[in-house]
Amino acid sequence: MKKRIPHFLTLLNILSGCIATVFAMQNQLEWAALFVFIGIFFDFFDGLAARLLHAQSELGVQLDSLADMITSGLVPGIVMFQLLALSQTGGWNVVSWQEFHFGDSALGLTSFLPFAGFLITLASAYRLARFNTDEDQLESFIGLPTPANALLVMSLPLILLYQGNDTINSLILNPWFLLAHIILSSFLLNSNIELFALKFKDWSFKQNALRYIFLILSLVLLLTLKFIAVPVIVALYVISSLITRWETRLIR
């Protein structure tokens, strides 16, 4: 029975992703973000539970990827769709399908633009498929993990809602900024950059020093910068991984 606990946690991740999808489609992006965060919480602990209970299985690997595809792949794509639509309409409203009369609507030719947000979903699917067929990503990740990218995307509407000002809002709702964000996310997801994994095999500081330092620093940034800290933390994650790998190669 205890070996099914990780599967149950993964199913809770899927449920969270489904709820987040509904809220994202209704443009209630703060609630979508909340359930994405909850889903990622379950995603972290299902892997930890599987390792502690010695319950790793191929079923668990496949189920975990399906959960990530919803919570960390589909939902960020919908949120980016909504943000791109918002950048065209200038209002925090649900963009209904009736508004998309391509070419002659109020949105004009740019009505195709919001669909670019789903490039994140496609890149996430490709990244997850690569992960499932790559046996070298046990101790580290190749490319940005989908949950980290999801957190990056979901931070944007939260910054707009709770920490926005004229400068920040004009930046985030600039379609060129959003398109650049999509391109960067898609690249990082499927890049060959080696990033350390937040996988704890035990609780010792010696074996997990980098992980503990990163988590403590992330907590400090979140307490001080709030949602703006999320892009900073993701950048710190990538940079610290690059520095660590560079130092390791020098030692060798």
Residue 94 domain flag: no
Residue 160 domain flag: yes
Q: Which residue has the tokens 């299985």?
A: 57
Q: What is the mean pLDDT of residues 163-190?
A: 93
SS3 (DSSP) at 115: helix
**Cβ count within 10 A of residue 102:** 10
For residues 132 and 30, the model is more confident at 30
Q: Determine which of 82-91, 219-228, 239-248 has the lowest per-residue pLDDT on average.
A: 239-248
Measured between alpha carbons, how far is 181 from 62 in angstroms, rounded to an integer? 28
Tokens coding 38: 């909850």
Q: What is the mean pLDDT of residues 12-39?
A: 95
For residues 245 and 235, the model is more confident at 235
Residue 232 domain flag: no
Q: Report the chain's mean pLDDT, rounded to a whole number.
A: 84
* pTM, rounded to two decimals: 0.85
> Which pLDDT does position 206 carry in this prediction?
67
Q: Which domain holds residue 49?
A: 2-85+114-192
The answer to whether 13 touches 46, Cβ cutoff 8 Å, is yes
Band of residue 180 on the pLDDT scale cut at 50, 70, 90: very high
Residue 220 domain flag: no
**Is it the case that residue 95 has pLDDT exceeding 90?**
no
Residue 238 domain flag: no
Residue 222 domain flag: no
Measured between alpha carbons, how far is 195 from 240 in angstroms, rounded to an integer? 8
Q: What's the domain count of the chain? A: 1
> Which pLDDT does position 61 carry in this prediction?
81
Residue 166 domain flag: yes
> Which pLDDT does position 5 carry in this prediction?
83
The answer to whether 181 touches 119, Cβ cutoff 8 Å, is no
**Is it the case that residue 99 has pLDDT exceeding 70?**
no
Report the relative pairing of strands 194-196 and 140-142 from DSSP bridges: antiparallel
Q: Which CATH number fits the domain that encloses residue 141?
A: 1.20.120.1760
Measured between alpha carbons, how far is 40 from 80 in angstroms, rounded to an integer? 18
- The distance in angstroms from the start CA to the end CA of the chain is 44
Residue 54 domain flag: yes
Measured between alpha carbons, how far is 26 from 22 in angstroms, rounded to an integer? 6
